Structure 1
Amino acid sequence: MWGVAALRGLWEKAREALEAPSPPATFRLELPDDEARRLVGEVYGRPMWGQGTRINVSKLDDAVRGTRFGLGLAEVLEIVHGRPVVQRVSSSRDEQRERSFEVLRSALAQHGLAEAAWAGAWMQWVHQYGRIAADELPGVARRAAGVLASLALARAPETWVSRGELAARVGGAHQLDNGTALSRVVLKAAALAQGVEPPGNERERRALWERCGVTLDAVSATVLCWGLPLVGSDDWSRGVRERFAVGLPVHLTHLDLRAAPERLVAAGTAVAVCENPRVLESVVEERIEHPVVCLSGQPSTVALTLLDRLQADGASLHHHGDFDWAGVGITRSLWEHHGVRPWRMSAADYREAVDRAAADRTDLPNLVGAPGATPWDPALAELMSTAARAVEEEVVLPTLLADLRVGLTAAGT
C-alpha cells in the first residue's frame, strides 16, 4: 500500500532524517505532481498544495502509528526499504556542522530569533553554502542577526529604513551592498521567512528588501498613479495635475513624496488601488477620471508610503488584485495594515469570474502556491481552493472599468 512510486520521496527523506547523527525535527519534501500531493496528504493527515512542503518527523511518526497497521515510522521504513533504520555515528564533518550551528543559533537567540520557523533551514544553508570561513562566522552571524531583527520578516512593514542606515548600525554603510557575505546570508534568511525563492537578479533583490521594509535609495523605486485630485496650489501639485491634463500618468518616488505638500487629497476621496499596470493603462486610454494607484505586483515601500499618506488624509482606498494566493496575500496585508478595503474581491466575485471564463471558453491558469486566509470573506479562500483556478485582473478588466466610470463610492466594493 505504501510502497508506491509516488511515496518514494517521502520514505527516502524520512530515512535520511532518522539516520542522521543529529536527526532534524523537519525535512523538506518535493511534491512533483498531483498523485504525490494526494498520497502524501493521505499518509500525513492533511491536504497538500504546491510543489513542496515541510514534514515534521514526529507528526509523521504519529500519523503512521495511527493507521490500521499500527507501526512506527522506523518500522515502516524497514518494511518499505527492506533494511533497518540505523543512525549514523557523528563524524568530524558533523562536529563542524554542530559548531557552526551553535555560533549561528547563539547569534539568533540574542535577538529572539533562534526558534523562528526559518532558522533551522537558514543555519543549514549558511553552513553548507554560505562560503564563510570558520574564523569569520561569529562576526557575520552577529551582524546578520542584528539586521534580521530589524526586518519585517513575519508581517507587512509598518516603517521603512534605508539599506545604508541599516548596514551602518552593524558596522559600516556598505556592509549590505550586493555581493557581500552579510547581504548574501541576510537575503537567504529573508527569502526563507517570506516563503519565496532566493533572489537571482537585481530586481528580485530589490523586491525582497522592500518586502522586509528596506529601501535601497530614494529615487529608483516608484509607484504609478493616475488622476489623484491633489488639493495643493504649490508647484509640485500643479506639476502632477499638468500630466493628468495631457493624459499622462505619473511615477512617484520617495524623493517626490518628500517634496510633496503635507496634505495630498481631500477627506473622502475614493482611490482605486490595482495590482496590474494594464488596469491603469486602460483607465488612461479611456480617460476615466477616477483616481488610480497601481502597485505593479507586490507593493513597494514608496507605494505603501503613498497609501499611508492618502489614508491619513481621509481617503477611501479600494484594492483589487489577482485572484491567486499572492494576490489575496497583498489584499490581506493592505486590509490589515493600511486601511485598504477589498474591491471586487469576494467569493461571489471570484465565482462570477470563473463562471464567465468557462462560458467564454477562456483558459484560466492553475492555482499554485500555499493557500492564504481571506478574513474579509472567509468563503473566498475555500472557494479558490476548491476551484483551483487563478483569475488575473485582466480577465475581469471590463467589470473594474465599469466600476471606475461610475465611481467606487457609487459602485461599492
Structure 2
Amino acid sequence: MTDIDRLRRLMGKPGLAWLLTRLRKRLESGRPLTGVVTLPKATPDERRAVELLLGRRAGGGTSVSVSLDDLDVMLRTNGAARSLADAVRAVVGDIPDRAGQEAADRTAWAAAFVPADDLVERRALLRPWRDWLASTGIVRRLKPVPEDATTLVAHAVRVIADLPSPGIALGVLAARHTNDAHALDDGTPLATLVLAAARVLDGKPPTGTGQAADRRAAWAAVGVHRDELSSTVLCLGLPGGTDSHVARVLGLAREAGEPCVLTLRQLGRDPILGVGARRVWICENPIVVATAADELGADCPPLVCLNGQPSTAVIRLLELLAAGGADFTYHGDFDWGGVRIANRLAQHIPWLPWRFDTPAYNDALGRSVGKALSGRQAVAVWDEELSPRMAEAGWQVQEELLLPDLINDLAEVRSACGPRQGGAGDTVGG
C-alpha cells in the first residue's frame, strides 16, 4: 500500500524536482525506472535533498547520482510504496501513458486504412491512389483523429467501389453512401479523396489542377454529373423539328449552321427529333465542331462532340439517337487519354473508327507529330495493333493536327443523305 503523505515528505522537496521530472518522463514514454540518473552541477539544496532521500552522503564532486534500482528497493522495504513507479505517480499525480497511446493510435490508424487496402486488393488499378494516400498523409491532414479518419476512408471506399457509374448525379451518389447529399461538394474531405481515385481510374495522376474544369472532367470520367444543368453536350447539324422545345432549338441551330449546347435536363424532359437511320459523326474536341460550323455551316452532317470524357448528357443524346436508328463513327486524340475516352464511349454505344486506327495513326505520323506520349498506357479495344504501335512510336497526335482531313470527310457528306461510311474495322462497343 502506498503512504502518500510519507512519500510527499520524502520525494516532494524542491531539491528533488529534477528527479521527479526525469522519472515522470520515463513513465510517459513507457521506459522502465532502472539504472542510474545523474544531475551535473547540482546545487547545495539539490545535493542535500538527495542525501535525505537516500539516507547517506551523495559523494564528492559537483554532480549527484541516484540508483533507481536501489531507490525502488528502499521504498518497498520501508513500506512507503509498492514500487518506485507507484511512488512517482502518488507524488506528481496521473501520468499519461504516451507510449501506450501511441501504440493504440498506430493500431487505430492502420485499421482506418484497411477498407482502402481491401479495395485495392480487389481493384489493382487503384494502387496509385492508395500510394498517394500513404505518401502525402492527406487523410491525417484532413482528419487528424483516427476515429474520424476511419469514417472518412470507409465512406470514400464505398463511393469509389460504385465507380465508374453509367450516369449518376453527384448529390445522389453522396447521399447513397453517406446519407448526406453534400458530402461530395467541392472542397469536402470526401470529395478530395474520391476525385483522386476518379483521376486514377481515368489513367491520370491522383492530383489535379485545382480548377473547376479539372473536377468536372474527373467526375465525368467516372460517369458522375454535378447536376442536370452542368452536364452538357455540344452538337452541330442535328435536324431537330417542331415537336418540342428542344427539337425547335436544334432545328433553328441547324438552319443557322451554328453549334448547339444541350443540357442533361433538356434531354431528359423533351423528346428530340433524331437523325433516323443515318450516320452521326463524333469528335473529341470542340475545335472540330467550331471549324465545321465555320466552313460547312448548315451543310454539316450530324456531329457530336465529347469534349473529353463523355458526360452523362453526351451519353444520353447518343443513346437517344441510337434508339432512332443512327449509327456512329468516332475520332479522338491519339494519346493514352484519348484511348481511354474511346474505350468508355464503346461501353455505351457501338461505333466505327473515323481515321482512328493503326493505319490512320501511321499516316498521321508521316505528316505531323505532336508531343511525346506520356502517362499510363491503355489498350485500344477497337484495334489491337494501335496501342503497341503508339507505344513503339512514342508520339501523340492530337485531333487538331488532323483537322483538315476531318473537315474534308464531313464536307463529302450531305446533311440530307449522308453515306454510311466512316472508317475501317468492325463496329466497336455496344
Q: What TM-score results when the alignment is normalised by the length of structure 1? A: 0.68
* C-alpha RMSD of matched pairs (Å): 2.6
What do residues 242-273 of structure 1 show as CA deviations (whole Å, max 9, x unaligned)?
Answer: 12212221101111112221x63143221110
- The letter for the 2-side match of 1:133 is V
CA separation of 1:101/1:208 partners in 2, compared to 1, >3 Å: closer, same or farther? farther
Residue number among 309, 312, 318 corresponding to 2:323 in the alignment: 312
User: Are the counterparts in 1 of residues 174 and 182 from structure 2 also a CA contact under 8 Å?
Assistant: yes
**Greater Cα offset, 209-218 or 126-135:** 126-135
| Runs of 5+ consecutive residues of structure 2 not aligned to the other structure | 1-98, 424-430
**Residues 329 and 138 of structure 1: is their aligned pair in 2 closer, same or farther, counting only changes over 3 Å?**
closer
Paired residue type of 2:211:
N
Q: How far apart, CA to CA, are the structure 2 residues paired with 1:375 and 1:167?
A: 32
Pair 1:123–1:283, CA change in 2 (3 A) = closer
Secondary structure of 1:311's match? helix
**Equivalence for 1:239:** 249
- For the 8 Å contact 2:371–2:396, the answer to whether it is kept is yes
Q: What amino acid does structure 2 have at the position aligned with 1:382? A: P
The C-alpha deviation readout for 1:27-74, integer Å capped at 9, x for no partner, is: xxxxxxxxxxxxxxxxxxxxxxxxxxxxxxxxxxxxxxxxxxxxxxxx
1:290-369 alignment to 2 at 5 Å? 290-357=301-368, 364-369=370-375
Change (3 A) 1:268 1:204: same
2:240 matches 1:230: yes
Counterpart of 1:68 in structure 2 is none
| Residue number in structure 1 paired with 2:291 | 282
Q: Distance in 2 between matches of 1:282 and 1:368?
A: 28
Q: CA deviation at 1:376?
A: 2.1
Q: Is the 8 A contact 2:279 2:327 kept in 1?
A: yes
Amino acid corresponding to residue 136 of structure 1 in structure 2: D
Pair 1:379 & 2:385 matched:
yes
**Match in the other structure for 1:150:** 162
TM-score (normalizing by structure 2): 0.66
Superposed, which structure 2 residues align to 1:117-196 within 5 Å?
Answer: 117=124, 118=126, 120-121=130-131, 123-124=133-134, 125-152=137-164, 157-158=165-166, 160-169=167-176, 170-196=178-204
Counterpart residue number, 1:252: 262
Return the alpha-carbon distance in structure 2 between the equivalents of residues 165 and 410 of structure 1: 40
Gaps of 5+ in 1: 1-89, 358-362
Partner of residue 105, structure 1: 114
Q: Deviations over 1:67-108 (max 9, x none)?
A: xxxxxxxxxxxxxxxxxxxxxxx9987874553232231477
Letter in 1 for 2:169: S
Question: In structure 1, how many angstroms separate the alpha carbons of the residues matched to 2:269 and 2:347?
Answer: 28
Report what 1:221 is aligned to.
231
User: Residue 354 of structure 1 contacts residue 391 of structure 1 at CA under 8 Å; is this kept in 2?
Assistant: yes
Contact map agreement 1:105 1:114 (CA 8 A) in 2: no
Q: Could you list the runs of 4 or more consecutive aligned residues of structure 1 that deviate by over 6 angstroms after TM superposition?
A: 90-95
- Tell me the secondary structure at the aligned position of residue 337 of structure 1: coil
Quickly say closer, same or farther: Cα 1:136–1:147, change in 2 above 3 A.
same
- Largest Rg, 1 or 2: 2
Equivalent runs, 1:66-77 vs 2, <5 Å: none
- Name the counterpart of 1:397: 403
C-alpha contact 1:222 1:300 (8 A) present in aligned 2? yes
CA shift, 1:227, in A, is 0.6
Distance 1:145 1:412 in 2: 41
Deviation at 1:142, TM superposition (A): 2.8
In 1, are the aligned partners of 2:240 and 2:274 still within 8 Å (CA)? yes
Q: Which amino acid aligns with 1:390?
A: Q
Cα offset, 1:190, TM superposition: 2.7
Structure 1 192/281 Cα, relative in aligned 2: closer, same or farther at 3 Å?
closer
- Structure 1 pair 402/233, CA: closer, same or farther in 2 (3 Å)? same
Q: Which moved more, 1:244-253 or 1:327-336?
A: 327-336
CA contact (8 A) 1:346 1:377 kept: yes
CA distance in 2, matches of 1:386, 1:349: 15
Aligned to 1:370: 376
Decide which moves more: 246-255 or 171-180.
171-180
Counterpart-to-counterpart distance in 2, 1:108 and 1:381: 30
Would the alpha carbon gap of residues 97 and 137 (structure 1) be closer, same or farther in structure 2, given more than 3 Å must change? same
Deviation at 1:177, TM superposition (A): 1.4
Helix, strand or coil at the partner of 1:308 = helix
Cα shift at 1:327: 1.2
Give the C-alpha shift of residue 127 in structure 1. 4.4
Query: In 2 relative to 1, CA 260–370 (structure 1 residues): closer, same or farther, beyond 3 Å?
Result: same
Aligned to 1:32: none
TM-fit CA distance, 1:321: 0.6
Note the C-alpha offset of 1:143: 2.2
1:144 counterpart letter in structure 2 = A
Letter paired with 2:204? V
